[in-house]
Structure 1
């Protein structure tokens, strides 16, 4: 008898798991439930769509519900949300967000790929209409529409990580003045300070404002944000605000079902990406993984590990047992003519952990 797999989430890990399952087994019934309108989109390309580097919106969409059905015979239910898992019955409760219809769906295996949600600090004024996150296609649509409609002059990016700097560059290329507000003492915290200093110098030479060890205290304005006041008392003009302070794993559904949540706040899985319920697997930004440099539990919300995990989950469901040995996190960011890349741990984090290391310096 053919097995039935329900996948919660249809972006990186979920789409990868679904496609791999079909390649391994033509008979498995595969149901993919995605709360948003879009599945399998290139979230790493969102800033470049906002900035016009990616000209066609369709270029962001790797697969659509129609193409997933036609190519892989996968039952994609977008604009739908799993509201509850009933593990003892091997059922999920699904709500169609378009018509409100609620129904139960049974499964033999459940794969949780709910991803992560952007962190929005509790700052007065952060709910104004010109404050944006960058996590999905509708987010990028809203930013593009706002820029075209209101032609803002000064953007403030809260958070100096990879997504923050990519958005900062794209807004700069759209002729906005850009200020970056970062709570830490450097941008791109995974870089060594000496490398981050090169990034700081490069950005300042191109008239970016960088505020380090700074926190936004309030966002002020009548109908939309007009300025941001920092904890230092300094005010920054702002008619467009991007929140890029990171993401947190979506674990509400898993926790509600009684699945184990790890020390980092991600869904706890074993070496085969099984949760504490052997019929439920998890993959992607929502799970806790092992950093194979330190051996410690960590979160690595990146597309490449998510795709790999989804692929492995499919193998394990189909009896091709394969362990996930962990990740170390690798990121590359291009800021105009400068490229910065990092993999593994920097000196500061290794010193903090008491892990011996050797340092090699070189010049191009």
Structure 2
């Protein structure tokens, strides 16, 4: 009879719980031990802000599994409040401390799966350990914050950090009637996104009466006893509040791995192969502590997101018991909501393309989430980035309302399949008036980009138009209707509505470099085809139209 294996999983939540459950599904006879340092082995950490804001009403809804439920369903032996202090690879042993009893013991293993996750960035500054300076990483964190709010002790809060958790915390504190100030050291919220694609998020924060402070960090907390009364910023500003929430960021927790001699990668996360094997035999790693293959750039990356962590855990669990699975990488598909504005990203941003030295082209498209004639259509701006020479999709960002989630998932799938912008033109997507359009926003984005790829037209981004305007005298033509000009025009633009363009060609100089624009880019594309066939050779269409220009101008003012 085959010898029974002992699998030790270090850490729970996404990767650890997934690894243990998969190992059990593949090997009914193995002894599987899960050691979790915290009080909860499997909880919905992504749901914590929504519990604070009462969108998730019950604390128990956050608890995906308990030690008892994991024992009942998967026959896993789960030990919470047990910290693994050391891995001894040569002896195939781990040293574990029972945090409740204060006792330390040694456990032998055949395979280990490291799922140690991340640790928060907490700067070493005065007052940061005050009792009303919080993190939002665990269920007890969320419960404590919510209890203080519901007790009426929090009228004003300061959130430090404008990433995913920071923005979600801001929104949900606002839902609870708390006045919020958001502090972000960078020149924008959501730094993985390109600057112009977060303007609507920042505008929504303003509409929610959230004070947003950019380009400013914190230097200390002003405390009275064990309670912080204010935070001081780098420019000397002092902001008083009842509660402070830190969401500055996280780092991979590699303390245990380093102590065991496991190699780290270029990102200082644990280096693994596609089987989630580390540099030491019989030790696997998964989740937010590991470095992975970025499927677009082809380089190593650290992407601490729940989706990849769950998949990595599944692969590690299967391979630890002798099956064969491979994690093929990720590219950071993500989404966030503030008020009724949704922003999503997949693959590389434009600034990441620049950093990686990639040859790329950008297009902007603005379309409704469903047919315009059906009531309730909500617009979305799609920024699509593709390789210049091949048309391969490198990344996308979308900002809008309803339907953003659906479109970013389509584009994430396209990236995984190594599709090109021409492939997007031919997608067969579901259409009925309440759900989409005959030419879905994704298909339209593909058509726009494919036209440029095939040299069927030429285009400028808003940034390129601004650059050309500074360098020389260019001819800018606004082909919107006259009533639309009241909301604003690009400085120096000549207004000729599209229906009148053919009759008024004599008002334009075909020898001049000419840029045409409309509200979102479609009418100006039609105008560019008319002009091109009437002798205008040096011709560009403004991608994203006046909406894209407005986003670009706002991004300059707010940075």
Q: Which structure would you say has the larger RCO, counting Cα contacts within 8 Å and 6 or more residues apart? A: 1
SS in 2 for 1:334: strand
Aligned match for 1:307, one of 294, 306, 310: 310
State the TM-score, normalizing by the size of structure 2.
Answer: 0.64
- CA shift, 1:270, in A, is 1.6
Stretch deviating more after TM superposition (9-18 or 314-323): 314-323
For this pair of structures, how many residues does the alignment match?
364
Instruction: Give the whole-Å Cα distance in 2 for the aligned partners of 1:102 and 1:317.
Output: 26
User: Any unmatched runs of 5+ in structure 2?
Assistant: 368-559
Stretch deviating more after TM superposition (145-154 or 235-244): 145-154
Query: Does residue 293 of the first structure (1) align with residue 296 of the second (2)?
Result: yes
- CA shift, 1:148, in A, is 3.2
Instruction: Give the whole-Å Cα distance in 2 for the aligned partners of 1:269 and 1:255.
Output: 14
Stretch deviating more after TM superposition (133-142 or 40-49): 133-142
Aligned match for 1:261, one of 261, 264, 268: 264
2:254 is matched with which residue?
Answer: 251
SS in 2 for 1:105: strand
SS in 2 for 1:58: helix
SS in 2 for 1:225: strand
Aligned match for 1:361, one of 337, 341, 364: 364
1:17 is matched with which residue?
Answer: 19
Cα pair 1:268 1:287 within 8 Å, conserved: yes
- CA shift, 1:220, in A, is 0.8
2:189 is matched with which residue?
Answer: 187
Aligned match for 2:119, one of 111, 117, 120: 117
Q: Provide, for residues 165-184 of structure 1, a one-character-per-residue CA deviation record: whole Å limited to 9, x for no partner.
A: 00000111111111111111
Q: Provide, for residues 189-219 of structure 1, a one-character-per-residue CA deviation record: whole Å limited to 9, x for no partner.
A: 1112111111111211221111111111221
Q: Provide, for residues 256-286 of structure 1, a one-character-per-residue CA deviation record: whole Å limited to 9, x for no partner.
A: 1111112212111122111111200000011
1:352 is matched with which residue?
Answer: 355
2:48 is matched with which residue?
Answer: 46
SS in 2 for 1:362: strand
Cα pair 2:8 2:112 within 8 Å, conserved: yes
Instruction: Give the whole-Å Cα distance in 1 for the aligned partners of 2:76 and 2:230.
Output: 48
SS in 1 for 2:215: coil
Instruction: Give the whole-Å Cα distance in 2 for the aligned partners of 1:281 and 1:135.
Output: 24
SS in 2 for 1:179: strand
Runs (4+) off by over 4 Å: none
Instruction: Give the whole-Å Cα distance in 2 for the aligned partners of 1:81 and 1:7.
Output: 11
Q: List aligned pairs for 1:306-325, cutoff 5 A.
A: 306-325=309-328
Q: List aligned pairs for 1:150-299, cutoff 5 A.
A: 151-223=153-225, 224-299=227-302
1:86 is matched with which residue?
Answer: 88
Cα pair 2:200 2:341 within 8 Å, conserved: no
Instruction: Give the whole-Å Cα distance in 2 for the aligned partners of 1:255 and 1:135.
Output: 23
SS in 1 for 2:290: coil
Cα pair 2:34 2:78 within 8 Å, conserved: yes
Instruction: Give the whole-Å Cα distance in 1 for the aligned partners of 2:302 and 2:103.
Output: 34
- Whichever structure has more helix as a proportion of its residues is 2
User: Any unmatched runs of 5+ in structure 1?
Assistant: none
1:338 is matched with which residue?
Answer: 341
- CA shift, 1:150, in A, is 5.3
Cα pair 1:130 1:146 within 8 Å, conserved: no
